[in-house]
Amino acid sequence: MKRFRSATRPAQAIAAVASLALLAGCAGSVGGDGSGSGDSAGEGFAYDSSQDEIDEALADLVPVTIKFQPSAMSEKSILAPNGLDVKKAIEERSGGKITVDIVWGQAIASYEDVDDALADGRVDLAFTLPSYTPAEYPAFDAIGTAMSTLPSSPVASDLAANAAGVQAAWETPEVLAEFEKKNLVPLIPMLAAGGYSTMCSKPMTSLDDWKGKQIRVGSAAAGKQVTDLGATPVSLSFPETYEALQRGTVDCDLGQLAPNVEAGTFEVAPIIGVASDAGIARSAGAITAGKKYSELPVAYQQVIFDSMSTTFSTMMEVVIGAKAQAVEQAKDNDGSVQPFDDDVQKQMAKYAKNLSDKTAEKAEVPDAPKRLGDAGSEWAKSVSDLGYDDKGDFASLDEWYPEDANYDKLGDELFEKVMAEHRPE
C-alpha cells in the first residue's frame, strides 16, 4: 500500500499573469501607508515583476524580521509545510530582505489570544480561527456555517469549497469590517481547510446509529447539527480526545482528518464516516497580519501578500494529502471508510440549509449563503478544468491519490481572479 509523506515541496515562484500588472495598479489596498519603518515607502512593484525588478524595488529598504505563527505544532508536524513553504516564498521573493521567524505550536499566543497579539505586535503574521469566537465574527461565522451546504468529496469539492470561501469572504464587506475592527489585516480572509468526517470505534452510518451517541465536536454549529441527528455533542479539547475515545467516554470525534493523523486517532477510532451531498459546518480559519505589517514599506507588504497563493496551495496539499494518510491508517487498524446512509444525508442537508440561512440572517448578511454557493459552482468548474477531479471514491483514496499532488495552478488562478485586486499599493 502506498505510504504518504508530508515532505515540504519547494515554494515555487508564482507564474506571471499579464493582466495582473493592470489589476495591481488599480487595486484597493489591504495594508497601511508603509510609513512606519523609517524607510522610504517607495512605489512597490507589479505582481508580475521579474526578480531583478523586485530586488531593485527593495534595494534601499532596511532588512526586517517578521514573526509567523502557522497552524502546526512543530517543524515535524504533518502541517509544517503550512509554515515552511510560506517562509520560503517570502524570503526568496524578498531576496533575503525579509526573514520569517516561525513560532510553532502557538507559543506566543493561543488561538483565543492571537488577535490581540497581532494587534499589539507580539506576532506579525498568523493562522487564526475566527470561528472560535462567532459572536465577534458573526459574518465570518455565517460563511463558515454555509460551507456545510456545499457538495463534499475527497478532493475536488474541498478545493472548490476553499476557493469559494476565499472569494465569498473578500466579497462580503461585513467580514472585512470584523477584521478591521480588531486592527487586523486579512491576507486570506477565510481558509476552510478540510471537510469534516466522523471517526468512530464502531460504524455510524444510519440515523439509528447516531441516536444516543456521544460525539466530540469543535464548534457550536457542528453541535447543533449533531443534536439534530439525535446524538449528544461533547465539548472536549483535542488533546483529550484520544483517551476519551479509548475509554469509551465519547463514541466518535467529528472533525478534520489531518490533525487526527498526527494524533494517532485511528488506532482507537478507525471507522471514518463521510458525507457527499452536504456536510458539517466547519471551524474555518484565516491568515491575518497585524500592527507591524501595516507599518512596513509597501514593497514588503506586497512580497508578503503575494505569498498567499503559496499559502493557499500548500494548505490544500497538506489537508487533502492527510486524508489519504487517514484512510491508510484506518485500514491499517482494521477500519474502513463508510458513507452516511441516504436518510442521514437528507436530514443533514436539510438542517444545514436551515442553519445556514438563520446564521446569515442573524449576522445581517442574508446573501452570504447564496454568494458562497454561486462561487462554489464557479470554482467547481475551474477545479475540473485544471484536472483536479476525483479519480475514485473516498474509501480508496489512499490507492489513487498522487503523492506528489500540487495545487499551485489553482492558487495562481485564485490570486488572479479574487485576491489581486486587494494587493497593497
pLDDT tens figures, 90-106: 999 999 999 999 999 99
pLDDT more than 90, % of the chain:
78
Indicate the average pLDDT of the chain.
88
Q: Is the per-residue pLDDT at 391 higher than 50? A: yes
Q: Tell me how crowded residue 417 is: count the other CB atoms within 10 A of its CB.
A: 17
CATH of 20-199+277-408, one of 3.40.190.170, 1.10.238.10, 3.20.20.105, 3.30.360.10: 3.40.190.170
Q: Tell me how crowded residue 181 is: count the other CB atoms within 10 A of its CB.
A: 10
Total length of the chain: 425
Angle of helix 308-332 relative to helix 156-170, nearest 10 degrees? 150
Say what the pLDDT of residue 42 is. Answer: 56
Q: What is the pLDDT of residues 26-72, one digit of tens each?
A: 333 444 444 444 344 458 999 999 999 999 999 999 999 999 999 99
Say what the pLDDT of residue 12 is. Answer: 33
Q: How far apart are CA 233 and CA 230, in angstroms?
A: 10
Q: How far apart are CA 217 and CA 192, in angstroms?
A: 16
Q: How far apart are CA 356 and CA 285, in angstroms?
A: 18
Say what the pLDDT of residue 195 is. Answer: 84
Q: What is the pLDDT of residues 185-212, one digit of tens each?
A: 999 999 988 888 999 999 999 999 999 9
Q: Is the per-residue pLDDT at 300 higher than 50? A: yes
Q: How far apart are CA 397 and CA 395, in angstroms?
A: 6
Q: What is the pLDDT of residues 73-96, one digit of tens each?
A: 899 998 999 999 999 999 999 999
Say what the pLDDT of residue 5 is. Answer: 33
The answer to whether residues 304 and 100 touch, using CB atoms and an 8 Å cutoff, is no
Say what the pLDDT of residue 403 is. Answer: 87
The overall pTM is greater than 0.95: no
Residues 6+ apart with CB under 8 A from 425: 24, 25, 27, 28, 29, 44, 298
Say what the pLDDT of residue 220 is. Answer: 80
Say what the pLDDT of residue 218 is. Answer: 77
